Structure 1
Amino acid sequence: MSASPTGKTVRPRLSIIGVFYNMAREAPRTLYSLSAGYQRGVSEGDYEVIAVDNGSNPPLDRAVSESLGGNFRHIRIDDGPPSPAAAINRGVAASLSPTVGILIDGARMSTPGVVQMALACLDRFDRPVVGTVGFHLGPDIQTRSPAQGYCQAEEDALLERSGWRRNGYRLFDISALGGSSRGAWLGRLAESNLLFLPRAMFDELEGYDERFDLPGGGLVNLDFYRRASDLKGSTLITLLGEATFHQIHGGTMANRPAAQIPDEMARYREQYRRIRGEDFRQSSRLPLLVGYPRREAMPWIRRASATLLNDWEYEAARSKAGGQASQPVSAPPSPELKPGDENYRAYVGRVEHYDLISALQFSLLGLLGLRESHYLLDVGCGSLRGGRLFIPYLQPSRYFGIEPNRWLVEEGINQEIGRDLVALKRPQFAYNDDFDLGVFHTDFDFILAQSIFSHTGPPLLRQCLRSAGRVLKQDGLLVATFVEREEDLIVGDEWVYPGLNHFSWSTIVAACSEAGLCCRKLDWPHTLQTWFVAAKDVQRIEAIAALGVDTVPDEVILTGHRFAMRKAGRPPNFYRNQRRGK
């Protein structure tokens, strides 16, 4: 508490509780970002910060927090449990204010307007629940960036160069959007890592549920945010232009290797089902935005707008169709349908080739070594032309699909595989068109891009390959097709559909090399395009010869052969058989 000019003791308006465990490196920056010397438009008397050391070994130095101002306090819990839930409840119990802010992860730094804007919302709205968007410091989500060489020393240098202490909004320039904040400020948050609400509402929820006792708390933070969001009469708010930024520190989930994420999430979901008696779901409420569109945040607002627009277009398409598929698979394809028509089979190519392309994809990846335990990313998965074979084959949570047209995926599910199989196999989908293959925070054994580079301009080709290189395992394979020509024939620099862009093999090789990948053309049938495979290690590519898949000499251009075969009404064949006249 502080003293007023009249000598009376004044309670702070807000108590912020932060939980720390073995964060000697991260805590000083996090706590500084909550200090009155960094936060704008507030003074020490407006709020207090309670740093809860949840059993760190060695203990967190209390001088770190107490040196930042008279509004900082330190609480030590000896032998703290693995979950932060009890530490949060202990900190709130010790707080002095009518409102609280919860920072569940002490590795998260804040933007400099978050306290001022939170206080404004807490003062002006009835029953406010005020959330913040989450980012990860570094070039990518921290489940993947360590594989790219990102480490604590690199982060220290990155922060030093950024000048964040002078302008905390520069943190946006050196960060990646977290997975639980897919739509940034414009979407629905799965959780908030710095959450503000009245103390009375915290007590109404009976605090954080300490039955979530897994290390890191499992889904305890998502659970609390959902319950707070759905409180009767609450006003759900997200602070526009403000955010938190996670420092890399070997945490329970954010810094876990990407390959371990699905299994760990399965543990979290199972515990949630035991505690709540149902599967976790996000709140359906869309938050009110309060704040300023900071210049540094504008690139992220632009990306969020594109994501939200895609979701709206999908919902509009479903509403127009009455929530039903455009044409059931049992109906014979109309001969008038052309590639790109709004039919789930025709939209992705010639309807008469739908089953053939499915089989060619599945059999090729099987020969290249795909097994049921592998992680597969299907780029441009469309109406599950390939997914209808891969999803039943792979173990649960091993198939991942990216597709900008959400209605295509829904049609594929409804007409090709059914909801029961989705419930059993748990495929995961992302709906974006920016070729961010890291959206799942997972590294992949195989990445499939069938008939994607036939429609990308050169910038998108390079962007997709770079992103693939970041999420491909060291021994993984990218398997893709392109329309080959002796020289590039580009009809558009962005996405071209249903038109085609043609690339020379030298262009594909150069783009792969830029992404840190080596590549070879494959002798595998296709109705028009040329298959190629790319990997981080040339020995991985050379090893596929023993699997029964041949490569094609660089100078051989297959497109002409395949045009001729298609014109003659002959089925796709191997180049080696064409050369022999078979």
Structure 2
Amino acid sequence: MTYAIKNPHKIVPHLRRLARDTWFRLRTRDHVSYYRAVMRSDTARDPEGAVGSHNHRRWLALGRMQFDYLVEHGLKPECRMLEIGCGNLRAGHLFIGYLHTGNYYGIDISPDILMAAQETVVQHGLRDKLPHLTPVRDLRFEFLPDEHFDVVHAHSVFSHSPLHVIEECFAHVGRILRPGGWFDFTFDRTEGKEHQVLREDFYYRTETLLALAGRYGLTATFMDDWERLPHKQSKIRLTRSVLT
């Protein structure tokens, strides 16, 4: 109530979103189907807005921020990279241009946003770099080979995912990582009670995700320097634990 009083301009948009999302939940069988419907609706209105960018300048800035961070933290042109939730290639267009031909793989649960990703490839003259863009139903990575990727990246994916979806990813991502490879992901961090808003936005405690990663043989590092960048989410890096 206090938030509504301080932000009256947000009440009507919130009610519209609530009505739309309730309708989608009633017509879908699981979270992936539900969120795919959300993305279809958002992409039809504005592909860049669908990935969380309110204008093209912000789309470019957020993509550049992700790209620069990964390059500064180990991404090389020869790396083979998988981007989970690649969207319309906000950062992906930079990764594709930087990596060697054929080394970028992007997956997303939304076929609609992947159509927008194809347009981004064309607009940025990246067809000759042969990016792999694939729609998926889950995060089991069953169609991908063992130890194939040096880098796996997921930006603003787990911020929209219930814990069982994150656990599914943790259970399978180690198989596709090469020895010495790593998986960076962002999440909405809370130091209070974990919660969700409209089944679209999920907030987790850091220790919850660290413990979950450890359950699947992954070593987790909280990336403190990411916190200084102009973004509201936090970042964790996972590597395969070394057996001794």
Under a length normalisation based on structure 1, what TM-score does the superposition of the two structures give?
0.32
Aligned counterpart, 1:430 = 134
Aligned counterpart, 2:46 = 343
Specify which of 158, 170, 173 is matched with residue 468 of structure 1: 173
What's the secondary structure of 2:195's corresponding residue? coil
The answer to whether the Cα contact below 8 Å between 1:372 and 1:395 also exists between their aligned partners in 2 is yes
Aligned counterpart, 1:441 = 145
Aligned counterpart, 1:527 = 231
What's the secondary structure of 2:158's corresponding residue? coil
- Structure 1 letter corresponding to 2:63: S
- Structure 2 letter corresponding to 1:423: R
C-alpha change, 1:475 and 1:401, in structure 2 (3 Å) is same
What's the secondary structure of 1:418's corresponding residue? helix
- Structure 2 letter corresponding to 1:379: I
In the alignment, the residues of structure 1 paired with residue 96 and residue 161 of structure 2 have an alpha-carbon distance, to the nearest angstrom, of 26
Aligned counterpart, 1:303 = none
C-alpha change, 1:485 and 1:509, in structure 2 (3 Å) is same
Calculate percent identity across the aligned residue pairs.
24
In the alignment, the residues of structure 1 paired with residue 132 and residue 81 of structure 2 have an alpha-carbon distance, to the nearest angstrom, of 11
1:472-498 CA deviation, whole Å, 9 max, x = no partner? 112001111011112442338xx94xx
What's the secondary structure of 2:152's corresponding residue? strand
- Structure 2 letter corresponding to 1:515: Y
In the alignment, the residues of structure 2 paired with residue 488 and residue 479 of structure 1 have an alpha-carbon distance, to the nearest angstrom, of 24
Residue correspondence of structure 1 range 60-459 to structure 2 within 5 A: 342-352=45-55, 353-414=58-119, 416-418=120-122, 421-441=125-145, 443-459=148-164
- Measure how far apart 1:379 and its partner are: 0.2
Aligned counterpart, 2:13 = none
The answer to whether the Cα contact below 8 Å between 2:217 and 2:241 also exists between their aligned partners in 1 is no
C-alpha change, 1:357 and 1:437, in structure 2 (3 Å) is farther
- Structure 1 letter corresponding to 2:177: L
1:491 maps to 2:196: yes
For structure 2, the 5+ residue unaligned runs are 1-31
- Structure 1 letter corresponding to 2:83: D
What's the secondary structure of 1:445's corresponding residue? strand
C-alpha change, 1:436 and 1:342, in structure 2 (3 Å) is farther
In the alignment, the residues of structure 1 paired with residue 172 and residue 88 of structure 2 have an alpha-carbon distance, to the nearest angstrom, of 23
What's the secondary structure of 2:105's corresponding residue? strand
1:506 maps to 2:207: yes
Aligned residues: 201
- Measure how far apart 1:421 and its partner are: 4.0
- Measure how far apart 1:361 and its partner are: 1.0
Runs of 4+, deviation exceeding 3 Å = 419-423
C-alpha change, 1:526 and 1:532, in structure 2 (3 Å) is farther
In the alignment, the residues of structure 2 paired with residue 424 and residue 486 of structure 1 have an alpha-carbon distance, to the nearest angstrom, of 45
C-alpha change, 1:508 and 1:420, in structure 2 (3 Å) is closer
The answer to whether the Cα contact below 8 Å between 1:446 and 1:472 also exists between their aligned partners in 2 is yes
In the alignment, the residues of structure 2 paired with residue 530 and residue 420 of structure 1 have an alpha-carbon distance, to the nearest angstrom, of 29
The answer to whether the Cα contact below 8 Å between 2:84 and 2:157 also exists between their aligned partners in 1 is yes
What's the secondary structure of 1:345's corresponding residue? helix
The answer to whether the Cα contact below 8 Å between 2:104 and 2:131 also exists between their aligned partners in 1 is yes
- Measure how far apart 1:365 and its partner are: 0.9
Aligned counterpart, 1:481 = 186
Bigger RCO (CA 8 Å, 6+ sep): 2
1:435-456 CA deviation, whole Å, 9 max, x = no partner? 1224232521000010111111
C-alpha change, 1:481 and 1:341, in structure 2 (3 Å) is farther
1:128-150 CA deviation, whole Å, 9 max, x = no partner? xxxxxxxxxxxxxxxxxxxxxxx
In the alignment, the residues of structure 2 paired with residue 400 and residue 411 of structure 1 have an alpha-carbon distance, to the nearest angstrom, of 16
The answer to whether the Cα contact below 8 Å between 1:430 and 1:439 also exists between their aligned partners in 2 is no
- Measure how far apart 1:376 and its partner are: 0.4
The answer to whether the Cα contact below 8 Å between 1:438 and 1:471 also exists between their aligned partners in 2 is no
The answer to whether the Cα contact below 8 Å between 1:482 and 1:503 also exists between their aligned partners in 2 is yes
- Measure how far apart 1:532 and its partner are: 1.4
Under a length normalisation based on structure 2, what TM-score does the superposition of the two structures give?
0.74
The answer to whether the Cα contact below 8 Å between 2:144 and 2:176 also exists between their aligned partners in 1 is no
The answer to whether the Cα contact below 8 Å between 1:483 and 1:530 also exists between their aligned partners in 2 is yes
In the alignment, the residues of structure 2 paired with residue 340 and residue 483 of structure 1 have an alpha-carbon distance, to the nearest angstrom, of 22
